[in-house]
């Protein structure tokens, strides 16, 4: 039976930014079918019905109770994830929930427990650790040809803090700032490459613009139980752009203008208050008056999250938008990644293997709880001025 004959039937909670970024994937990958949705915006619900022919509901619970829904995709703001994952599980539905998994370890634990009691699966993503070059690098490490991983360096400079935001996205207590939204990507990548089990975190964070009162930058040193260590640095203040080090390919795997960050800051100067800013963000999302569908055709490069360099005993691996550059005692060579025919198809790859092949998810609940623990440790290390020891880490699942 072909995948298109038995697609995974998804009900969607939230048709905002996260859904908008996954939309090209859902429209082009025949392994999934969107059958129901809820969003508080009437325009978004209308657009969903017109685009997918699916049912629109008046509440999140109605989506979870819909008998045609097999998996629930939770794409609502961060602070809603814990409650809605538990709601879906109690209705017997499997869940794909956007990162970050939740805002506290207690909420993560509740989500895991409820899914286990209900016998439902839980996948957390999209995070950029799904990206093909990251998975390829992990395969190269697992081959044994380069010995053990000793050190990972990850760095990303973006315009994150000056893209249109709702007020809570600039409030750390509500999941705002770069630690919850962006470290969730970078930490997941670093953990996947270095083996998973972080022992300690020492970090500093930056709040350098009082008009955007949340963390806009961080730099962290992570030690791992296997002896490896990693540095992770992120700057979202919109000046330098590390995509210049990624062959001019942007995070979404497509060519990017060299002055993109400058243009982001120029646009922000035209925004007069937080209500206008929130309205601009809403109108840019699915169903909004400023919405434009991102390209659904295959890009010529993979999505990425900035420069990543893995140092092993017998070689270094540099991740690029098109694969992995290997440096070892035999010189340098390039190992190409398979560029997905559908943007973010790697997310559906994992969803499909769990839903249709009964595989254990790579980005499951306990793995993702461990990533949340590291993110929380970044903030705590800044507050306490000391190393934070971790207790809820797990090793990389083996398939």
pLDDT of residue 171: 97
Domain contains 143: yes
For residues 347 and 315, state if they share a domain.
Answer: no
Q: Are both 287 and 162 inside the same structural domain?
A: yes
The half-sphere exposure of 71 on its side-chain side, counting CA atoms within 13 A, is 24
Q: Are residues 270 and 315 in the same domain?
A: yes
The per-residue pLDDT for range 244-303, each reduced to its tens digit, is: 999 999 999 999 999 999 999 999 999 989 999 999 999 999 999 999 888 777 788 999
Residue at 396 is within a domain: no
Structural domain range at position 32: 3-127+342-372
Same domain, 301 and 197: yes
Q: Within the chain, which residues score under 50 in pLDDT?
A: none
What is residue 305's three-state secondary structure?
A: coil
pLDDT in tens, 70-110: 999 999 999 999 999 999 999 999 999 999 999 999 999 99
Using alpha carbons, list the distances in angstroms from residue 220 to 118, 128, 361, 376.
37, 18, 27, 12
**CATH code assigned at 267:** 3.30.360.10
Q: Which two tokens stand for residue 159?
A: 């315009």
Question: How far separated are the first and last CA of the chain, in Å rounded?
Answer: 24
Instruction: Please tell me whether residues 272 and 357 are part of one structural domain.
Output: no
Residue 298's pLDDT is what? 76
Q: Are 342 and 298 in contact (CB under 8 A)?
A: yes
- Is 87 found in the same domain as 191? no
Is omega for the bond preceding 277 within 30 degrees of 0, making it cis?
no
Integer-rounded Cα Rg, in Å, for the chain is: 20
CA distance 394 to 365: 11
Q: What is the CATH number of the domain that holds 358?
A: 3.40.50.720
Count of structural domains, the chain: 2
User: Nearest 5 degrees, angle CA 302-CA 363-CA 159?
Assistant: 50
Count Cβ atoms within 10 A of the Cβ of residue 67 and give its class: 0-12 exposed, 13-18 middle, 19 or more buried.
exposed
Question: Does residue 217 sit in the same domain as residue 263?
Answer: yes
Rounded distance, CA 109 to CA 292, Å?
38
């Amino acid at each position: 039976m072909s995948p298109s004959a038995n697609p995974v039937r998804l009900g969607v909670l939230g048709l905002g930014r996260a859904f908008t970024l996954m939309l090209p994937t859902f429209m082009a990958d025949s392994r999934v079918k969107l059958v129901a949705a809820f969003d508080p915006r009437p325009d978004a619900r209308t657009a969903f019905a017109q685009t997918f022919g699916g049912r629109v509901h008046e509440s999140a619970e109605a989506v979870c109770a819909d008998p045609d829904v097999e998996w629930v995709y939770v794409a609502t703001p961060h602070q809603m994830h814990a409650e809605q994952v538990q709601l879906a599980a109690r209705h017997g539905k499997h869940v794909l929930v956007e990162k970050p998994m939740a805002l506290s370890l207690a909420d993560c634990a509740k989500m895991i427990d409820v899914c286990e009691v209900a016998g439902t699966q839980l996948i957390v993503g999209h995070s950029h650790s799904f990206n093909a070059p990251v998975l390829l690098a992990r395969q190269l490490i697992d081959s044994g040809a380069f010995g053990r991983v000793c050190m990972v360096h990850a760095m990303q400079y973006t315009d994150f803090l000056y893209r249109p935001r709702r007020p809570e996205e600039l409030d750390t207590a509500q999941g705002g700032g770069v630690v919850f939204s962006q470290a969730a990507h970078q930490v997941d990548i670093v953990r996947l490459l270095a083996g998973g089990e972080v022992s300690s975190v020492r970090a500093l964070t930056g709040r350098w613009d009082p008009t955007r009162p949340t963390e806009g930058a961080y730099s962290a040193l992570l030690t791992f139980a296997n002896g490896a260590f990693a540095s992770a640095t992120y700057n979202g203040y919109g000046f330098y752009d590390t995509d210049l080090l990624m062959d001019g390919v942007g995070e979404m795997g497509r060519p990017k203008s060299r002055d993109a960050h400058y243009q982001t800051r120029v646009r922000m100067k035209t925004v007069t208050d937080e209500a206008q800013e929130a309205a601009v963000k809403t109108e840019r999302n699915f169903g909004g008056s400023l919405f434009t569908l991102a390209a659904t055709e295959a890009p010529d490069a993979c999505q990425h999250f900035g420069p990543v360099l893995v140092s092993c005993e017998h070689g270094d691996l540099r991740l690029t938008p098109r694969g992995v550059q290997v440096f070892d005692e035999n010189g340098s060579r390039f190992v190409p990644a398979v560029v997905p025919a559908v943007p973010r198809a790697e997310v559906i790859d994992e969803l499909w293997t769990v839903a249709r092949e009964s595989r254990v998810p790579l980005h499951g609940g306990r793995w993702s709880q461990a990533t949340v623990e590291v993110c929380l440790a970044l903030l705590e290390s800044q507050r306490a001025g000391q190393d934070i020891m971790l207790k809820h880490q797990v090793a990389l699942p083996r398939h």
